[in-house]
């Protein structure tokens, strides 16, 4: 009987898909009768893949946590916009024809002199600065001026965006302090390298021994690999107008990486 390994472009799989492929293989192999696992080399491969798969999951969790960093960045942008909106709204009153409005504006601008370059401060310093600024704007001396100029909504927006940012930033700091760092690229490369060795071993032993253990293992590996290969094929698209002399550029899409 001719045995083969289903071609699969592993490089085209996303990090999440790669992790799921390993989990699928391990789960499938676990359905084979335990008493058939008499080959110590195969058992060693399976144990090592299980270990690397677990490590890979931890690296994936780290990648997901990096998304929190982007959320913090976006929250910082929203907060800066709120600060600028307040400053812009306040500045408009410096051009007012109403002297009372100009006086109120001048008083609040003098207060802002204590918060120069607020937007340029680092994350935590800016958080403290905005808290202090809002506290001043809400006290009995400045609050009537804020209400008179009808800019309370801008103060409220600074307060809310600063609070939202602080919650996200604090959560990220705690997460980073309690999370071990993983090199995702290195872990993926090593795991897929071991996986290639494993599949090559299973294929070679199936050809050499034709025992139930290796034939079943190969069939299970191929079933999962075909599923992911078909998924990649469906995902791939061939751009129109990219054909020459009747030969489609898509003919080179299939690449066997064991």
Contact present, 68 and 171 (Cβ < 8 Å):
yes
| pTM of the entire predicted model | 0.53
Residue 121 pLDDT > 70, yes or no?
Answer: yes
Contact present, 39 and 209 (Cβ < 8 Å):
no
Residue 104 pLDDT > 50, yes or no?
Answer: yes
- Say what the pLDDT of residue 175 is: 59
Residue 213 pLDDT > 60, yes or no?
Answer: yes
- pLDDT tens for each residue of 217-254: 999 999 999 999 999 999 886 444 444 433 332 333 33
Structure tokens at 92: 């408009």
Region 27-38 average pLDDT: 95
Task: Report in angstroms the alpha-carbon separations of 209 from 56, 203, 212.
Answer: 32, 10, 9
Residue 183 or 149, more confident: 149
- Say what the pLDDT of residue 244 is: 41
Distance of CA 129 to the CA centre of its chain: 30
Residues sharing a CB contact under 8 Å with residue 96, sequence separation 6 or more, in sequence order? 102, 105
**Mean pLDDT, the chain, as a whole number?**
87
Region 156-176 average pLDDT: 86
d(CA 33, CA 51): 21
CB atoms within 10 A of CB 47: 10
């Amino acid at each position: 009987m001719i045995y083969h390994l289903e071609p699969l472009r592993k490089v085209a799989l996303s990090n999440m898909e790669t992790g799921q492929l390993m989990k699928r293989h391990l789960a499938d192999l676990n359905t084979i009768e335990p008493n058939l696992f008499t080959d110590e080399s195969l058992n060693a491969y399976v144990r090592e893949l299980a270990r690397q798969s677990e490590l890979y999951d931890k690296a994936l969790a780290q990648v997901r946590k990096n998304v929190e960093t982007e959320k913090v960045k976006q929250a910082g942008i929203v907060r800066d916009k709120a600060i600028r909106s307040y400053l812009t709204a306040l500045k408009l009153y410096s051009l007012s024809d109403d002297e009372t409005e100009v006086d109120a504006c001048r008083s609040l601008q003098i207060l802002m002199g204590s918060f120069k370059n607020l937007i340029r401060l680092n994350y935590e310093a800016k958080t403290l600065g905005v808290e202090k600024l809002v506290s001043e704007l809400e006290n009995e001396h400045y609050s009537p001026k804020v209400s008179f100029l009808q800019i309370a909504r801008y103060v409220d927006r600074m307060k809310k965006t600063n609070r939202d940012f602080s919650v996200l930033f604090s959560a990220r700091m705690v997460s980073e302090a309690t999370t071990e760092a993983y090199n995702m690229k290195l872990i993926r490369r090593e795991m897929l390298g071991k996986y290639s060795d494993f599949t090559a071993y299973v294929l070679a032993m199936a050809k050499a021994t034709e025992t139930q253990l290796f034939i079943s293992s190969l069939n299970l590996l191929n079933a999962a690999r075909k599923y992911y290969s078909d998924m990649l094929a469906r995902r791939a698209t061939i751009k129109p107008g990219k054909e020459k002399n009747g030969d489609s550029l898509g003919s080179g899409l299939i690449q066997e990486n064991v």
